[in-house]
Structure formats: C-alpha cells, structure tokens
Amino acid sequence: MGIDDSNIAANVNAFTENLWPQGNESFSTSIHSITEKLSELDITVRRMIMEALDS
C-alpha cells in the first residue's frame, strides 16, 4: 500500500479517503508536508551527487 505522487495533495487526500471515508485532515496534511520535504531533500542530494561527479 502506498501513495503514488504523494507530493500532490489530491493524491494524498484520495488515499486518506480510502482509509477513512469521512477523511482525516491532520493525516493528509502531515503526509503531504513530509513528502514535500523529502522531495526537496531528494533533489538536493541528487544535485550534490551530480556536482561531485563533475569535479
């Protein structure tokens, strides 16, 4: 079980509604926030690796 493209709020909300038909706003907000930060970290790490390989 997972959330495809979890950095997109609509996908997180759809996943949340599968678990909680009435919704769970705090869960959705937390997951979306965490995945946004992880996405930024992923980009930063990839950039650092590419810069290290170029030198």
Residue at 2 is within a domain: no
Q: Please name the residue that has the structure tokens 């979890």.
A: 6
Residue at 4 is within a domain: no
Q: Whole domain around residue 39: which residue ranges?
A: 9-54
CA distances from 22 to 5, 9, 13, 25 (A): 22, 17, 11, 10
Kindly report the average pLDDT of the chain as a whole number.
Answer: 93
Query: The whole model's pTM is what?
Result: 0.75
Cα torsion at 35, 41, 46, 48 (round to 10°)? 180
Q: Please name the helix (run of DSSP H) or strand (run of DSSP E) that holds residue 45, with its range, or none.
A: helix 25-54
Judged against a pLDDT cut of 90, whether residue 1 lies above it is answered with no
Question: What is the count of structural domains for the chain?
Answer: 1
Residue 7: the pLDDT is 85
Residue 2: the pLDDT is 86
Tell me the pLDDT band of 53, cut-offs 50, 70 and 90: very high
